[in-house]
Structure 1
Amino acid sequence: MAERAESRHPTKSPEALARWGLAVVAAALVIAVPVATWWLVGDQSTVPVSVNPDYTFKPFDVTPRTQRTAGVASAVLTIVALLMLARATRRKHLDPQWWRVLIPLLVAGLIVGYGWRVMTAGVIGANIGAGLVVLFAGPVVAALLIWSLAYSIYVLHHRRAARLTCESRGT
């Protein structure tokens, strides 16, 4: 009787809870990668602040200590999350197809982290790098996000169809 109740509520099963945990780890990874990249790239200004540089976007007023703390924390989180997801994939707790969703999101995060540093660089005159980021990186990031969204819908639909097929067979 208890087995039948669990089959009616698949979100309460240990496997479902583990999947949600992996989803949280993946989301943390996607958030941590741009921050880690931003920190690792560092300030790209070509002139000191004392010269009163021009900015495409003024960088956030963040102390060096806060930058270091956010950077180290996000770099550690990135490494730990990657290891956890790789281990879950190896143990067959994470469908390898999800990496086709995750990797484009991570590449987009790398581009965004680096692009933000370029766009907030202090320069004299025009920031040509910022224009190039908008012109080239913007469409690439958009394409990567669209790919990830579309492929995640495909994986979820495919998984649901497979589950319905198994249920109709009685397995």
Structure 2
Amino acid sequence: MNDTTSLRPSSAFSPVNALWGAVLLAGSAATSWWLVHTPAEEQARAGGFALDEADYAIEPLPLPGWAEAVIGPLGLVLALVAAVLLVRSVAGGRLGGSWGLAIGCLVPIALMAGAWWAIATAPVIGANIGAGLAQIVSVPAGLLCLAAALACAVMGGRRRR
């Protein structure tokens, strides 16, 4: 064996793992939105007002009915597949544990973002207090998760050298 070959697998952060990390985050956000989201017609009916009288903190994207039924389950499947592949990469040594932990620290941010989007785009009469409350909780929690992910990424970068 010569000195240029190594038996130890690389634990550097690769573009493939970055792609799976992005898929995990996008799928998590879509799944969270799907779980929290209630169709606008149902919410208006439950609130006792006509949908054309509704106010929105953020105007929702116009989605056909079938899209709502596809986005959530597809996001769930993509998030689960990406999570399994990232765990296998960490276990197989192709992705350092610090990098895997950094990605894991970002998942709650994606979950909170999806839930916040569902709350902020909900039809209401008057102010959408839920969107404000969700933002008050999500921003500090998201900053903590981001700081933890950054610390893990810095540790992963230092170990590689």
Question: For residue 76 of structure 2, what is the aligned residue in structure 1?
Answer: 75
Higher helix share: 1
Whether the aligned pair in 1 keeps the contact of 2:31 and 2:76 (CA below 8 Å) is yes
1:154 is matched with which residue?
Answer: 155
1:56 to 2:53 alignment: no
Partner of residue 104, structure 2: 103
Partners of 2:123 and 2:103 in 1: CA distance: 33
Displacement after TM superposition at 1:158 (Å): 2.7
Contact 1:47 1:122 in 2 (8 A): yes
Distance 1:90 1:118 in 2: 37
TM-score normalised by L of structure 1: 0.75
SS at match of 1:145: helix
How do residues 1-171 of structure 1 correspond to structure 2 at under 5 angstroms?
Answer: 19-43=14-38, 46-48=43-45, 50=51, 52-160=53-161
Measure the CA separation in 1 of the matches of 2:122 and 2:39.
5
Matched positions, count: 152
**Distance (whole Å) between structure 2 residues aligned to residue 88 and residue 118 of structure 1:** 35
CA distance in 2, matches of 1:23, 1:106: 14
- Structure 1 segments unaligned to the other structure (5+ residues): 8-13, 161-171
Paired with 1:18 and 1:131, the residues of 2 have a C-alpha distance of 36
Ranked by relative contact order (alpha carbons within 8 Å, sequence separation 6 or more), the top structure is 2
Give the aligned residue type for 1:41: V
Q: Judge which range, 103-112 or 39-48, deviates more.
A: 39-48
Question: Deviation of residue 21 (structure 1)?
Answer: 1.7
Task: State whether residues 36 and 75 of structure 1, in contact with CA within 8 Å, keep that contact through their aligned partners in structure 2.
Answer: yes
After TM superposition, the runs of 4+ consecutive aligned structure 1 residues lying more than 6 A away are none
The alignment's C-alpha RMSD in Å is 2.7
- Extract unaligned runs of 5+ from structure 2: none
Deviation at 1:16, TM superposition (A): 8.1
**Structure 1 residue 56 displacement after superposition:** 0.8
> Which protein has the larger Cα radius of gyration, Structure 1 or Structure 2?
1
Cα distance, 1:52 vs. partner? 1.5
Q: CA deviation at 1:61?
A: 0.9
Kindly indicate whether the alpha-carbon contact (under 8 Å) linking 2:87 and 2:100 is maintained by their aligned counterparts in 1.
no
Paired residues of 1:108 and 1:141 also in contact (CA < 8 A) = yes
